[in-house]
Structure 1
Amino acid sequence: MRTTGKAPVQQPSAMPVKKYRPYWETMTFDYPERTWPSVNVTRAPRWLSTDLRDGNQALIEPMDPVRKRKMFDLLVAIGIKEIEIGFPAASQTDFDFVRSLVEDDAVPDDVCVSVLTQARPDLIARTVEAIKGFPWANVHIYNATSPVFREVVFHNDKAATVELARAGVTEVMVQAEKILGDDQVFGLQYSPEIFTDTERDFALEVCENVMELWQPDDDREIILNLPATVERYTPNSYADLIEWMSDHLSHRDHVVLSAHPHNDRGTGIAAAELAMKAGVDRVEGCLLGQGERTGNVDLLVLAMNLYSQGIDPMLDLSDVDGIRDVVEYCTQMDTPVRHPYVGDLVYTSFSGSHQDAIKKGFQARAAKVAAAGGDETTVVWDLPYLAIDPHDIGRTYEAVVRVNSQSGKGGIAYLMSRDHSFELPRRLQAEFSRLIQRHTDGTGGEVASDRLLEIFTDEYLPAPPASGLAPWGRFTLLDSRAESLSEDGTVTVTIDLMDNGAKTTLSGVGNGPIDAFISALGTIGIDAHVLDYAEHAMEAGRDARAAAYVEVEVADQVLWGVGVDPSITRATYRAVISAVNRALR
C-alpha cells in the first residue's frame, strides 16, 4: 500500500472570471475604529416587514387584494409593528389596497404603516394622499445615489443627486402639511439607493442634507435606511459601512438607523446580524425571505436566530407552520424542505447515529427536568442536532425520533396523488409512510403504486353499505341530514349509523356540520376532537367524488381518517368515522 500527503490538483475553469473584479478593490476601506466584532446583540431590533411591497413586487403573480389583506393580518398577528404596505403611486391597485386598510379601520393604533415613493413631485402627492387617515404612517422616499445609477441610468452628477433628495423631502413635507390632518402621526424615512455601492462620504452628505430639512429632535425621529439592494460583498464589509455611518451621522440620538439586506451572495442573514452588532436600530425584510432575485433578508429566520440564543424576538413565532401556510398562500411560492426552522425536514434526522444521539439527548434532558421539579422552562436546551426545541414553534417530536424508510413520505405522497388522486396533508403523509415502513420491514422490496392504494384503502376507507363488503370497524355511516337552527349558523345534524351491526339514529348541534356531527357521536360516549381538516375534488364533472381528510383526537390517540363521497359533507363524516374506527379497533 502506498500513501500520499498530497491533495488533488484543481484545474482552472474555462469561465470568464476576468470580467469581474474583487469587491475589495472598490467597496472596502480600512476602519480601525470599528468596535462591532466585540459587540454582543442582546435585544431584538425594530422589525419592518416589506412583504407587501418589496416582497410582493418580486412575485411571479403579485398578490391580489384578498391575499394582501391576509398577509397584512398575519404580520399584525405575529407582532410586527412597522409594515411597508405598498407603493401607492405605482398603480391604482396598490393605491386602492392602501386606502382599503384605512376604510376598514384595519390598522391598530400601535402599528405604523409605511409607503414607498421615488423623489418625484407627482408620485409624492399621490403617495401622501394615500396615507390620509392612518393613525400613524411614514413616507419612505428614496433616490439613486450610487455611481452606476448616477452615471448610467440618470446621468446626474453628485450635486444634482443631492438636490433631487432635498427637493423630494421638501415636497413630502409640503404635501403632508397640505393633506394630512393634525391628529395623524407622520414620519419620514429616507434611503440612499444603493447605499452599499455609494461612496460612503457621499452617502453621508446626502443623508445630512435630508436631515437638515427634516430637523430631527426628541419628538421628530428620522429613519435612515441603508440598503444592500444588491449584495456584492462579505457581511463584515457591510458592518464596517454601517458602523462608519453611525459614528459620523449628526443627530444620531434622533436617527433610527435601518438595514435592508438582500441575499444575492447567500449571506443576507449574516449581513443583518453583523449590521445589528454595528449599530442598526431596525431591520427590514420579508417572512421566509421573499424579494427580488434571491430575496430580502428572512425576518423569521433572523428572529428565530435571536430566540435560539435566549433573546426575545418580540414576535409570536409559536406556530411557524401556520405562518408558513399563510405566506405560501399569499405568495404562491413553495418553501424548501431544508429552509431553516420551517422546512418539512429541518428537525428530521435520517441517520441512525443522529437518531441515537437525539434519543439519548431527550433522556438526559428528561432527567434534568425531573431534577428541576418538572419545570422544563428552567432547564437550558442542549440536545444533539437540535438547535431549538421544536415544541416551541408548534412542531412535534414525531419526525425527530422516527427512522424513515428508503422511499419516505414524499415519494409515497407523489404516487398517491399522481395515480390515485389523493392529495394527502403533510401530517397524514407522515402517518401513512409509517404504515408503509412497517410493510416494507415485513416484506422487503418495492411497494408498487397499486399496492400502496390497497394498504391505504384497508387502513383508512370504510366500505360503503351498498358495496356488499364486510363492515369495517364499529361504525358505518348510512345517511345524514342537516338543518339550520338559527341565523348565527348553528346546525342540527341527524345521522343514521350501523353501530356494531345495529342501526341507530343520532342527533347533534354545533356551529357547523362537522362540529354537530362530533356532538352527535358524543351522545353515545365518543369523545372526539377535530384537529385538522382538508378536502378536494378527486375528478372533474357532475359525478365527481370528493376526498376529505380529518385529523381527530379520540381515545387518547391522534389519528387521521379519510372519506370519499360525491358529497363533500358526507365525505367529511366518513373521514371522522374512519378516524374513530381506527382509534377504537
Structure 2
Amino acid sequence: MNAIVPNDPNRVIVFDTTLRDGEQAPGFSLGVKDKLMLAHTLKDLGVDVIEAGFAASSPGDEEAIRTIAREVVGPTFCSLSRALESDIDAAARALLPAKRKRCHIFLATSPIHRAAKLKKTREQVVEIAHKAVSYASTIFDEVEFSPEDAIRTEQDFLHEVCIAAAEAGARTLNIPDTVGYTTPKEIYQIFSDLKAALKDHPQVILSAHNHDDLGLGVANTLAALEAGARQIEVTINGIGERAGNAALEEVVMALRTRPELFKLHTGINTPLLSKASHLLSRATGTIVMRNKAVVGRNAFAHESGIHQHGMLTDARTYEIMRPEDVGAEKSNLVLGKHSGRHAIAKQAAALGFDLDELSLGDLFAAFKRRADEIGEIDEFELMSLLTRDNADKDDARLFKVSSEVTKDFVTITLDLFRDNGEPLKVTATGLNAFEAGFRALVDAYQIEARVNDCEIIQSGFTFDGGAFAEISLQIKGEAYRGRGRGPDPVWAGLRAMCDAFEKYVFLHDRKTHASNLNSEKQHETAR
C-alpha cells in the first residue's frame, strides 16, 4: 500500500489525474480497458492518489471508476464532483469498492467565473462550498476542495472560501491554476499567504494543480512546494486540457535530482517512469515529443560531436540524470550529420572494425553524405557503410523509378543495383505507387514482408525541397526500420523500403555466418 507518512513534513503526496483531467482533453479519450491498464501502472509507479474520473459526467465514467476501484488495490481512489449532492452521490457509488476513497469537490471562485458561469455572489459561493463539503464529509473519510480558477480569485475571498471548506471537513485544499495564468514568484506568495491564513487548521494539506498554458506548469508546481504545498496534482506526459498539466515525471525528477535545493521526496518508483509514458502514448495514440523532458526519445540522446566526446569520457558532462533512474535503456550516442570522427570511430570499433586514418577518412565522408540524406545513422546503416563496396555512391541501391498510371492501377518499374554492382530491373502493379513499388521490391529481394507503418514528410520548406520517409517492415516476425530521402514522396518511400530490406539482409547474413561458425566449432570438437 502506498502509505502516506503524515509525520514526515518533507513527503510529497502525488495525486495523478491522468485518467480524469488528462483523459478529458481532446485527443486523449480512453476506454475502460485502457484506463484499467493505466491504473495498474500508476499503482506500480507508486502514485498515492489516483483521480480515476468524474463519476457524474456519464454512466460510462462512473462504471469505469467502479471497475478500477474494484480491480486495483493500494492507492487512494478519487472522483471529481461539482458542489452538488447528486455528484457526490455518484462519486460514492463509483468508489464503493475502494478501500481508500476521496471525493474531490470543485467550485468556481474567481470574479469572471462567478459572474459568467455561476451567476452567484461571494456569499452564495461560500455557502455552497460549505454545504457540499459538509455533505461529502458524512460519506467520505477524505474530502478535497478546489476553488476553481483560484489564481484569479481575490486573495481575501480565496482565504475565506478555503477556511470555510476546512471548517466543513476538507482535509486537502487544492489551489488550481485552472487556466495556466500564474508565475513561480506569484504562486509562491499565494501559497505562503494561504498557509498563514490557515494557521488554525494545521491538519490541512495544501495541493498544487497547475496547467501549462504559458509553459510554466512544472515551475509553478515546484514554487508551490517551496511555499508549503505537500500534494502535487500531475499527469503522465503532462497531458490535460489545452496545453496540458504539470508533468508527473518532470516534477518528481526535479525533486529527485536536486535534493539539496528542495529537500523533498515522493514515493514514486522512478525506474517505471519511461514505461508509464510509453503505455500512455500507445493507449492514446499520441506520440511523445522527441525532446520531451525525462521520457522523450532525445532525453538521453547525443548527436553533437562535442557532446559525444564528453559523454564517452564521463556521462556526467552532459547528463544530470542516469537513464536507468527513469527506466530508459541507456544513453544513446546518436550518429548523425553533427557527429564527429571520434564517435564514429568508437562505434565502428564496437562493431569490430579497427580503422586506420585513411579508412576512417573514407568512412567519415560516406557517413556524412548518408547522414545528410536520412538523418540518423543506426548500427545497421553504419555496418552497411563499413562493408558495402558502393556505400560511397549516392543512391547506391535505387537509381531510377518510372511509372505508368491507368484508370485502376499503377505500374512501377525500378532500376536497382545488385550487391555485386550489376543492374537489376523489376516491375510490379498495384492500386497506388507505394503498393506497386513495395511489390517490386519484394520481388527484387525475394523476401516476404508487410508494412507495419510509414511516415512521409514533404520537406517543401527546405532550400532543396524533396521528401523524407521512415518505414517499418515486418519480416519473419521482426521489425526492420528504414529511412530514405528523395525528390518526391514515392522515391523517398521506396528508398526507405530498400533501406529496411538491406538491414534484414545484413542481419540475416550475420546470423547465418555466426551459425555456420558455431557448427564448424561443434564439428571440430566432435572430431
Cα deviation for residue 322 of structure 1 reads: 2.2
SS in structure 2 of the partner of residue 225 of structure 1: strand
Please point out which of 204, 211, 219 is paired with 2:159: 204
Distance in 1 between residues matched to 2:49 and 2:89, nearest whole Å: 22
Unmatched 5+ stretches in structure 2: 1-7, 340-366, 400-413, 421-441, 455-472, 480-496, 498-504, 518-527
Look up the match of 1:463: none
Residue 547 (structure 1) aligned with residue 475 (structure 2): yes
| CA deviation profile, 1:393-433 (whole Å, cap 9, x unmatched) | 343556237455568899859xxxxxxxxxxxx9xx83334
User: Residues 281 and 350 of structure 1: is their aligned pair in 2 closer, same or farther, counting only changes over 3 Å?
Assistant: same
Look up the match of 1:107: 72
| CA deviation profile, 1:75-96 (whole Å, cap 9, x unmatched) | 0111112100000110011011
Residue 331 (structure 1) aligned with residue 275 (structure 2): no
- The code of the aligned residue for 1:77 comes to D
| CA deviation profile, 1:191-210 (whole Å, cap 9, x unmatched) | 01111011111011111112
Unmatched 5+ stretches in structure 1: 1-40, 177-184, 217-221, 363-382, 414-425, 459-466, 473-533, 540-544, 552-563, 565-573
Look up the match of 1:153: 117
- The code of the aligned residue for 1:261 comes to N
User: Residues 434 and 93 of structure 1: is their aligned pair in 2 closer, same or farther, counting only changes over 3 Å?
Assistant: farther
Residue 258 (structure 1) aligned with residue 199 (structure 2): no
User: Residues 61 and 210 of structure 1: is their aligned pair in 2 closer, same or farther, counting only changes over 3 Å?
Assistant: closer
CA contact (8 A) 1:535 1:548 kept: no
User: Residues 253 and 360 of structure 1: is their aligned pair in 2 closer, same or farther, counting only changes over 3 Å?
Assistant: same
Distance in 2 between residues matched to 1:189 and 1:253, nearest whole Å: 15
Look up the match of 2:150: 195
Look up the match of 1:68: 35
User: Residues 344 and 101 of structure 1: is their aligned pair in 2 closer, same or farther, counting only changes over 3 Å?
Assistant: closer
Distance in 1 between residues matched to 2:329 and 2:371, nearest whole Å: 17
Distance in 1 between residues matched to 2:214 and 2:121, nearest whole Å: 30
User: Residues 434 and 323 of structure 1: is their aligned pair in 2 closer, same or farther, counting only changes over 3 Å?
Assistant: farther
Look up the match of 2:325: 392
Aligned ranges 1:279-290 → 2 under 5 Å:
279-290=228-239
Distance in 1 between residues matched to 2:283 and 2:443, nearest whole Å: 46
User: Residues 346 and 120 of structure 1: is their aligned pair in 2 closer, same or farther, counting only changes over 3 Å?
Assistant: same
What is the number of residues matched between the two proteins?
401
- TM-score scaled by length of structure 1: 0.60
Cα deviation for residue 45 of structure 1 reads: 1.3
SS in structure 2 of the partner of residue 258 of structure 1: strand
Aligned ranges 1:23-422 → 2 under 5 Å:
43=10, 45-102=12-69, 105-108=70-73, 110-174=74-138, 176=139, 186-214=141-169, 222-310=171-259, 313-362=266-315, 383-397=316-330, 399-400=332-333, 402=335, 412=374
CA contact (8 A) 1:47 1:283 kept: yes
| CA deviation profile, 1:195-232 (whole Å, cap 9, x unmatched) | 10111110111111122222x7xxxxx01000011122
CA contact (8 A) 2:36 2:67 kept: no
- The code of the aligned residue for 1:152 comes to A
- The code of the aligned residue for 1:192 comes to P
Cα deviation for residue 437 of structure 1 reads: 5.4
CA contact (8 A) 1:50 1:84 kept: yes
User: Residues 356 and 384 of structure 1: is their aligned pair in 2 closer, same or farther, counting only changes over 3 Å?
Assistant: same
Look up the match of 2:5: none
| CA deviation profile, 1:361-410 (whole Å, cap 9, x unmatched) | 25xxxxxxxxxxxxxxxxxxxx2111122233343556237455568899
Distance in 2 between residues matched to 1:287 and 1:85, nearest whole Å: 13
- The code of the aligned residue for 1:53 comes to R
Deviates more, 1:129-138 or 1:342-351: 342-351
CA contact (8 A) 2:397 2:417 kept: no
Cα deviation for residue 580 of structure 1 reads: 3.8
- The code of the aligned residue for 1:581 comes to T
User: Residues 252 and 446 of structure 1: is their aligned pair in 2 closer, same or farther, counting only changes over 3 Å?
Assistant: farther
| CA deviation profile, 1:120-167 (whole Å, cap 9, x unmatched) | 222222222221231110000011100000112222110111111122
User: Residues 582 and 253 of structure 1: is their aligned pair in 2 closer, same or farther, counting only changes over 3 Å?
Assistant: farther
Distance in 1 between residues matched to 2:113 and 2:42, nearest whole Å: 33
Cα deviation for residue 288 of structure 1 reads: 0.8
SS in structure 1 of the partner of residue 308 of structure 2: helix
CA contact (8 A) 1:81 1:111 kept: yes
Look up the match of 1:417: none
Cα deviation for residue 536 of structure 1 reads: 6.6
- The code of the aligned residue for 2:143 comes to L
Deviates more, 1:149-158 or 1:126-135: 126-135
User: Residues 167 and 397 of structure 1: is their aligned pair in 2 closer, same or farther, counting only changes over 3 Å?
Assistant: closer
Cα deviation for residue 546 of structure 1 reads: 5.3
Distance in 1 between residues matched to 2:59 and 2:144, nearest whole Å: 23
RMSD: 4.0
SS in structure 1 of the partner of residue 246 of structure 2: coil
Distance in 1 between residues matched to 2:372 and 2:34, nearest whole Å: 28
CA contact (8 A) 1:550 1:576 kept: no
Distance in 2 between residues matched to 1:75 and 1:389, nearest whole Å: 22
Distance in 2 between residues matched to 1:455 and 1:358, nearest whole Å: 39
Cα deviation for residue 114 of structure 1 reads: 0.6
Aligned residues with identical type, % of pairs: 24
CA contact (8 A) 1:116 1:141 kept: yes
| CA deviation profile, 1:497-518 (whole Å, cap 9, x unmatched) | xxxxxxxxxxxxxxxxxxxxxx
Distance in 1 between residues matched to 2:369 and 2:251, nearest whole Å: 33
User: Residues 546 and 68 of structure 1: is their aligned pair in 2 closer, same or farther, counting only changes over 3 Å?
Assistant: same
